[in-house]
């Protein structure tokens, strides 16, 4: 019975061993790098294809209708049809558009989306690049994608696309702060920026419950804040005003067609998977199994199970909530989430400095609940607008 | 509390999602090419010509009066009257259309042609799957394609068909009554004429005797 | 002077030259972003992970976007009509070359370039954190104060735009209140303007 958990690692080592006699050392290194990268390039776009059909069928069922059900059994070959359509569509570039930037924008977006997968620990010993500052690498490359969004909107020389791009960039830049600060709480507690080590720190068990950070008050609040910020970073409903599917059709990438549009779509979903993967790594215990009895399921299977669960959560949120307006989004980020995330840091510090025991749950949890009640209520009440006055034309 | 409404909303959508697998009345989608949703009785798509009896051309009710051609707002009807006449349902000799073309790509289904026809001969059909690959002549239908029997009409618009049959029956009854009155009048006139000639013949006789 | 350093240096110089000479301002802003990224790769090549990644996060992710927004929100979007090279380029180049020669001579003959290289300091995140909290805590707090002042200034500048709007509101309510017979009984109150 081969060790299912380490099957891919062992496969890679076996292949390298086979090639050791044939190739020189530097070629061997290149092959080793390729063997680590190619699975990512295969698995995550496949997951993207699966997610598009899951999303359409899931949203359909939520909205009391079938999803696509013509192509393949129950419509599950729909991504193939979508892919073929995207590839054979004519690639329209507006005459006044800036050709170089128009071409580069989706390319840079996809490149940054793929690059962040290099630091995600997908299974035990299964991380492409074990950087000391892995978390920082993730956020740095993720921040570089904002520039590509702006380039996309600007290259088309269309006022409305440019407005959409500027709003998208404002949204992404504002929500990066809660995203980063909520993960700083985890960094504080574990004392390291390296993602495999953060996963290892969650592999113990506290009695019955696993030691995942989501089962602590600050971890739970941090996880919720992280997920909301992840929603906003990936421009997904309810934060998809820049995209605005039913109103402005595609917002900042409205003039892209064919393969470039497919690249934008791919980049959006890939960055969503990456941020969810990071959320799993930081808060949900990475590739750890929840209970000791379930260890026989391989670690990479746990990672993907958790990823698919978070995907379903996102699809559910998309089907439920209406879109937030730009000022509502910004208010949420700056007036609610940033104070909340700073108080989360204080709660995490309180958790750490109160010793283990029941007391730390009480203090940490009480602080967070009071902060939530205090921050959540006053601003979201309807402002007192006063008596309605009319101005008539004279 | 902030977020309570969101949780309630998500519970509602979860109920929608799970309920759609369990109860049949949630998914009201009609799977189109395999099933079609039934049309209401007054549905109207494009006109057709009614004929009585079995032979479409002989039983066509249309008498080529060209009222519908003149009243049609987008002018999609084209009629050419025939040179000869034939007998209609009332027993009178009427013209009939040699050519009756409707351009379905122009027709806007306003039903004005139906409303102004005095002979109950053009009615609205309910067929809508009329797509064709021929962009220029594919939707130009002539009178052979337009003629549909009265039974077909009764099947699709039973109330209207009953009403038009009733109107026709009234016309037939009127025509028959008129014919009978004509016959009686003719007989009476013949009798009067005979009586007058008999009287004319009998009155000079006493003068000469 | 390894090959990777040569490539990175060539990239940075090319990007900076492009940023200076391109006609379109947004293009030059993007070239500046490429120069930032090149600088980040120079840091990474020297083994300074934290600084290199923070360079990408802050410069490419925020400063480049800030530059681009500034270019767009002012009227810099159009291409300039005249050439980007000024008419007196010769004298400019001569002065720049002479300053460079002076600085190069000074640095080459200085004390610091003759000394042996100190050992490479450990630049792990933990070490940086320790240094920031012990040796460099005063600069850290001063930078924090500076950033807070910048933030408050930005908020004040943005807030000042609200005053013309409240004037319009007042004018509207005044027109509404005095245009009817009830204006005698109800003098115009300040319910329209939120002061």
Q: How is the beta sheet containing B47-51 ordered, strand by strand?
A: B122-124, B47-51, B147-149
**What distance in Å separates the CA atoms of residue B153 and residue B159, rounded to the nearest whole number?**
10
B1: nearest CB among A316, A320, A376: A376
Sheet strands (E) in A66-140: none
The residues in A 307-366 lying below 8 A from B, measured between CB atoms, are 316-317, 319-321, 336
Yes or no: domain C1-77 corresponds to CATH 1.20.120.1200: yes
List subunits contacting chain A, requiring 3 or more Cβ pairs under 8 Å.
B, C
* Residue A15 tokens, joined: 């292949």
A112 pLDDT higher than 90: yes
Choice between B41 and A137, residue whose per-residue pLDDT is larger = A137
pLDDT given for residue B79 in this prediction: 92
**What distance in Å separates the CA atoms of residue A143 and residue A162, rounded to the nearest whole number?**
19
**What distance in Å separates the CA atoms of residue A390 and residue C175, rounded to the nearest whole number?**
9
**pLDDT (tens digit per residue) in C99-156:** 999 999 998 888 777 777 777 777 778 888 888 889 999 999 999 999 999 999 988 8
pLDDT given for residue A118 in this prediction: 92
Domain boundaries B54-128+135-148, CATH class: alpha beta
Q: Quickly state the pLDDT bin for A251 (edges 50, 70, 90).
A: low
List subunits contacting chain B, requiring 3 or more Cβ pairs under 8 Å.
A
A204 pLDDT higher than 90: no
Number of other residues whose CB lies within 10 A of the CB of residue C89: 10
DSSP A258: T
Choice between A379 and B46, residue whose per-residue pLDDT is larger = B46
pLDDT given for residue C191 in this prediction: 42
Strand B47-51 with B147-149, pairing = parallel
**pLDDT (tens digit per residue) in A279-289:** 999 999 888 88
Q: What percentage of chain C exceeds 70 in pLDDT?
A: 74
pLDDT given for residue C190 in this prediction: 41
Residue A115 distance to chain C (closest CA, Å): 13
* Residue B150 tokens, joined: 């009265």
**pLDDT (tens digit per residue) in A331-359:** 889 989 999 999 999 999 999 998 888 88
Pair C49, C123: CB distance under 8 Å: yes
Report the pLDDT averaged over residues B118-137. 85
What's the gap between Cα C55 and its chain centre?
12
- A133 vs C contacts (CB less than 8 Å): 49-50, 53, 125
Q: What is the overall mean pLDDT for chain A?
A: 87
Minimal CA–CA distance to C37: which of C12, C62, C68? C12
Pair A327, A67: CB distance under 8 Å: no
pLDDT given for residue A383 in this prediction: 64
Q: What percentage of chain B exceeds 70 in pLDDT?
A: 97
* Helix H or strand E encompassing B96: strand B93-103
Residue A373 distance to chain B (closest CA, Å): 6
**What are the CA-CA distances from residue B70 to residues B64, B113, B115 (Å)?**
12, 9, 13
* Residue B118 tokens, joined: 């005095």
Pair A138, A116: CB distance under 8 Å: yes
Residue A337 distance to chain B (closest CA, Å): 12
**What are the CA-CA distances from residue C45 to residues A83, A103, B13, C59, C157 (Å)?**
39, 29, 51, 18, 41
Pair C188, C174: CB distance under 8 Å: yes
For residue C21, the number of C-alpha atoms closer than 13 Å in the C-beta half-sphere is 7
Query: C69–A166: do the CB atoms touch at under 8 Å?
Result: yes
* Residue A142 tokens, joined: 């993720």
pLDDT given for residue A326 in this prediction: 85
**What distance in Å separates the CA atoms of residue A199 and residue A277, rounded to the nearest whole number?**
12
DSSP A335: I
DSSP A126: B
Residue ranges of alpha helices (H) inside A321-357 are 326-331, 338-353
**What distance in Å separates the CA atoms of residue A273 and residue A227, rounded to the nearest whole number?**
12
**What distance in Å separates the CA atoms of residue A352 and residue C36, rounded to the nearest whole number?**
38
B59 pLDDT higher than 90: no
Q: What percentage of chain B exceeds 90 in pLDDT?
A: 15
Domain ranges in chain A are 89-376
Pair B78, B143: CB distance under 8 Å: no
pLDDT given for residue C110 in this prediction: 82
Q: Quickly state the pLDDT bin for C166 (edges 50, 70, 90).
A: very low
Report the pLDDT averaged over residues B172-197. 84
pLDDT given for residue C194 in this prediction: 41
Burial group, residue C91, by CB count within 10 angstroms (0-12, 13-18, 19+): exposed
- C66 vs A contacts (CB less than 8 Å): none
**What distance in Å separates the CA atoms of residue A335 and residue A377, rounded to the nearest whole number?**
11
**pLDDT (tens digit per residue) in A171-189:** 999 999 999 999 999 999 9
Domain ranges in chain B are 54-128+135-148
């Amino acid at each position: 019975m081969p060790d299912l958990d380490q099957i891919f690692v062992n496969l890679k080592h076996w292949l390298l061993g086979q090639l050791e006699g044939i190739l020189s050392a530097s070629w061997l290194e290149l092959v080793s790098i390729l063997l680590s990268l190619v699975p990512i390039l295969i698995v995550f776009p496949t997951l993207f294809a699966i997610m598009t059909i899951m999303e359409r069928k899931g949203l359909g069922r939520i909205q009391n209708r079938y999803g696509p059900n013509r192509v393949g059994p129950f419509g599950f070959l729909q991504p193939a049809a979508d892919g073929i359509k995207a590839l054979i569509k004519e690639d329209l570039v507006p005459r006044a558009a800036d050709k170089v930037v128009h071409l580069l924008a989706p390319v840079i977006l996809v490149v940054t989306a793929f690059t962040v997968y290099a630091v995600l620990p997908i299974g035990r010993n299964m991380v492409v690049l074990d950087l000391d500052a892995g978390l920082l690498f993730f956020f740095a490359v993720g921040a570089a994608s904002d520039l590509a969004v702006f380039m996309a909107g600007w290259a088309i020389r269309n006022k409305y696309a440019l407005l959409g791009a500027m709003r998208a960039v404002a949204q992404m830049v504002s929500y990066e702060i809660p995203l980063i600060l909520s993960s700083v709480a985890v960094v504080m507690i574990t004392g390291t920026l390296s993602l495999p080590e953060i996963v290892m720190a969650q592999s113990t068990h506290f009695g019955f419950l696993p030691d995942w950070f989501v089962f602590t008050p600050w971890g739970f609040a941090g996880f919720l804040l992280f997920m909301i910020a992840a929603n906003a970073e990936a421009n997904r409903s309810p934060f998809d005003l820049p995209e605005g599917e039913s109103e402005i059709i595609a917002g900042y990438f409205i003039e892209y067609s064919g393969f470039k549009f497919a690249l934008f779509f791919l980049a959006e979903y890939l960055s969503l998977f990456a941020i969810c993967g990071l959320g799993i790594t930081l808060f949900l215990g990475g590739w750890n199994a929840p209970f000791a009895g379930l260890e026989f399921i391989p670690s990479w299977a746990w990672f993907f199970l958790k990823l698919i669960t978070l995907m379903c959560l996102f699809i559910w949120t998309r089907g439920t909530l209406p879109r937030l307006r730009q000022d509502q989004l910004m208010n949420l980020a700056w007036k609610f989430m940033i104070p909340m995330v700073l108080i989360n840091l204080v709660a995490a510090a309180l958790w750490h400095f109160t010793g283990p025991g029941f007391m730390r749950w009480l203090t940490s949890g009480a602080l967070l609940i009071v902060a939530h009640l205090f921050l959540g209520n006053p601003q979201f009440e309807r402002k007192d607008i006063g008596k309605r006055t009319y101005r008539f034309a004279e | 509390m902030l977020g309570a409404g969101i949780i309630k909303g998500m519970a509602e959508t979860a109920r929608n999602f799970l309920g759609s697998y369990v109860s049949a009345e949630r998914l009201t989608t009609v799977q189109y090419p395999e099933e079609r949703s039934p049309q209401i009785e007054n549905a109207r798509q494009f006109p057709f010509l009614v004929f009585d009896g079995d032979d479409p051309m002989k039983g066509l009710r249309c008498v080529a009066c060209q009222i519908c051609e003149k009243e049609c707002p987008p002018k999609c009807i084209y009629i050419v009257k025939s040179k000869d006449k034939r007998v209609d349902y009332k027993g009178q000799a009427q013209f009939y259309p040699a050519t009756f073309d409707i351009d379905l790509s122009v027709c806007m289904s306003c039903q004005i042609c139906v409303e102004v026809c005095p002979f109950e001969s053009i009615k609205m059909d309910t067929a809508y799957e009329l797509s064709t690959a021929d962009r220029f002549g594919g939707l130009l239908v002539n009178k052979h394609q337009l003629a549909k029997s009265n039974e077909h009409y009764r099947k699709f618009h039973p109330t209207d068909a009953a009403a038009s049959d009733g109107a026709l029956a009234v016309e037939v009854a009127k025509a028959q009554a008129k014919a009978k009155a004509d016959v009686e009048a003719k007989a009476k006139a013949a009798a009067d004429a005979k009586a007058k000639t008999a009287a004319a013949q009998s009155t000079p006789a006493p003068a000469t005797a | 002077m390894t090959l990777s350093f040569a490539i990175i240096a060539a990239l940075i110089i090319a990007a900076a030259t492009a940023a200076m000479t391109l006609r379109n301002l947004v293009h030059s802003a993007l070239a500046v972003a490429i120069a930032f990224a090149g600088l980040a790769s120079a840091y990474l090549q020297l083994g300074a992970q934290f600084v290199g990644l923070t360079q990408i996060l802050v410069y490419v992710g925020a400063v480049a976007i800030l530059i681009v927004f500034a270019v767009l929100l002012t009227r810099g979007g159009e291409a300039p009509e005249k050439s980007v090279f000024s008419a007196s380029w010769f004298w400019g180049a001569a002065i720049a070359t002479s300053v460079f020669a002076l600085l190069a001579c000074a640095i080459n003959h200085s004390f610091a370039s003759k000394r042996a290289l100190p050992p490479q300091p450990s630049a792990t995140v933990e070490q940086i954190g320790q240094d920031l909290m012990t040796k460099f805590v005063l600069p850290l707090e001063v930078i924090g104060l500076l950033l807070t002042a910048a933030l408050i200034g930005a908020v004040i500048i943005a807030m000042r735009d609200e005053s013309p709007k409240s004037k319009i509101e007042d004018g509207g309510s005044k027109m509404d209140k005095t245009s009817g017979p009830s204006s005698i009984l109800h003098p115009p109150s300040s319910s329209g303007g939120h002061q």
